[in-house]
Structure 1
Amino acid sequence: MKTKDFALEVKNLSDDGTFEGYGSIFGNVDSYGEVVEAGAFSKSLARHAKAKTSPLMLWQHNPDYPIGVWESLEEDSKGLFGRGRLLKGVQKADEAHIIMKNGAIRGLSIGYRELRAQPDGNNRTLLELDLMEISPVTFPANDKARITAVKSERMEEFARRLRDGEPMPVKEFEDILREAGVPKAMAVQIASVGYAKAIRSESEGVKANDLANLRNAVSAFLQPRT
C-alpha cells in the first residue's frame, strides 16, 4: 500500500466529532512528481458502495488504531471530498479531536493501491487508485511511517530477491528510493549508477558478503532520522 499526503482543509469540526475535508486534490504535482487525475477514485468508490463498505479512518495509517468512520466520500471538481466522524470515547479518536480542534494536525493522507498510471513528461499521472483508507496525519510522523512501511515491505522484497540471485530492476529500486522521499534526480543517480553497478558485479560473481553490505547500506539510507 502506498500513501500520499495532502494539506488538511477541515470544515465544521463539531463537538460530536464530525468534520469535512479533502483527502486528495486533483491536478497538482506532488513531491513524488505524481498527479492524481480526476476520476481516479470513481471505480473504487463504486466498489465500496456496491459492497456497502467504506475506506477506513486510521490514526497515522496505523491499522491498530481505527479512530472513526467516513460517512460519505465523493469526487468533486477539486478532489476527493469526505465527511467523517471521529468515534468519541475511543482514546486515539478523542486525542485526534483535541488536536484537530486546535489546528495541530497538518494533513490528511490516503492509503491506496495503484491500479493504473501513465508517464507524463517528467511526472506520472495516477489514473485509477484503489482507496483503502484515509488518515489524519502530522506530516513528520507520516514521513517516518511511510519510510518504515517501505523498509518492512519493499525492502524485504528487495533483500529476498538479492538473496535469491534475482535482483529487482533498476527502475523498481529507484521507485523504492522515491517512495522513501529521496529527490528524483538523486534517486535516479543512486539506482542507475551505484545499484546498477552492484547488480552487474553480482552477475560476475560478487561474494555474498558484498551483497549483504549493499542491503545494509540501503537499509541505513532509508532509516528515519529523529
Structure 2
Amino acid sequence: MMSDTGTHVSLDIKAVDDDGTFSGYASTYAVDQGRDAVVPGAFAKSLATRPAGRLKMLRDHDPRQLIGTWIDAKEDGTGLWVKGKLLLDVAAAREAYTLLKAGALDGLSIGFRSIRDRWDSAKKVRFLEEIDLREISLTGFPMNESATVSAVKNEEFARRIVGAIERADARIRAA
C-alpha cells in the first residue's frame, strides 16, 4: 500500500504460506478449559525422544485424518511453539488449508499422556510437569484457548492497521 505521503507500508497477513506452512503455539502455560496447566519444561524429555518430525499432525485428534508433518517444535517462555506443513496432496489437508486461510480454523491442541502431574486442590488445577507428547491437531475448539496458529488472516483488520500507520506517518511528517 502507498500512503498519501509516498511512504510504502506493507503487512504480511497470511496465517499459512502458499506451500501449506504455518506456525503457532500448540500449548501455552495457561490453565485450559479442562483445568490442566502445562508447566515449563514439561515437554523436554518427550521432544528429546520424539522430535517434531515424529509427532503426528492430525485434524481434531482423529488418527484417520493425518494432514501434514511437523517441522519444528520447541518450548519457550510462552509454551510449545511449533511449525508445520500441510500435505496439500491430501484432501483433508487441502480443506484445512482453505479454512486456515479464511481464519475459520485457527486452534491447536495436543494429544498426550501425563507422565508426572500434581493436583492443586486450592486452585483446582492439575499441573502437568512431564508429558509424553504424541500428536498435535489443528482444531476449531482447543481446550487451551491461547493455543493458536499465529497471525490469523484478517484482511479488514490488517487494512485498518495499515491505515492507522499511514495516518500517523502523515501527522509526523506534517509536524
TM-score for the superposition, normalised by structure 1: 0.54
Contact 1:111 1:131 in 2 (8 A): yes
Structure 1: gaps spanning 5 or more residues: 1-9, 144-226
Contact 2:86 2:97 in 1 (8 A): yes
Q: 1:124: Cα distance to partner?
A: 1.5
Counterpart-to-counterpart distance in 1, 2:31 and 2:53? 30
Contact 1:11 1:20 in 2 (8 A): no
Report what 2:48 is aligned to. Answer: 46
How well do the aligned residues superpose, as a CA RMSD in angstroms? Answer: 2.0
Report what 2:90 is aligned to. Answer: 90
Q: Cα deviation per residue 1:90-137 (whole Å; 9 max; x = unaligned)?
A: 100000000000000141111000111012222211101100000101
Report what 1:57 is aligned to. Answer: 57
SS of residue paired to 2:103:
coil
Is 1:118 equivalent to 2:118 in the alignment? Answer: yes
Contact 1:118 1:126 in 2 (8 A): yes
- Of 9, 25, 38, 1:22 maps to 25
Deviating 4+ runs (over 3 angstroms):
none
State the identity %: 44
AA at the equivalent of 1:112: F
SS of residue paired to 2:40:
coil
Q: 1:88: Cα distance to partner?
A: 1.1
Counterpart-to-counterpart distance in 1, 2:96 and 2:15? 15
SS of residue paired to 1:44:
helix
Alignment of 1:71-82 (within 5 A): 71-82=71-82
SS of residue paired to 1:119:
strand
Counterpart-to-counterpart distance in 2, 1:31 and 1:60? 16
Larger RCO (alpha carbons 8 Å, 6+ apart): 2
Counterpart-to-counterpart distance in 2, 1:111 and 1:130? 9
- Using a 3 Å threshold, how does the CA distance of structure 1 residues 109 and 47 change in structure 2: closer, same or farther? same
Contact 2:15 2:100 in 1 (8 A): no
Aligned length: 129
More strand by share: 2
Contact 2:14 2:101 in 1 (8 A): no
SS of residue paired to 1:16:
coil
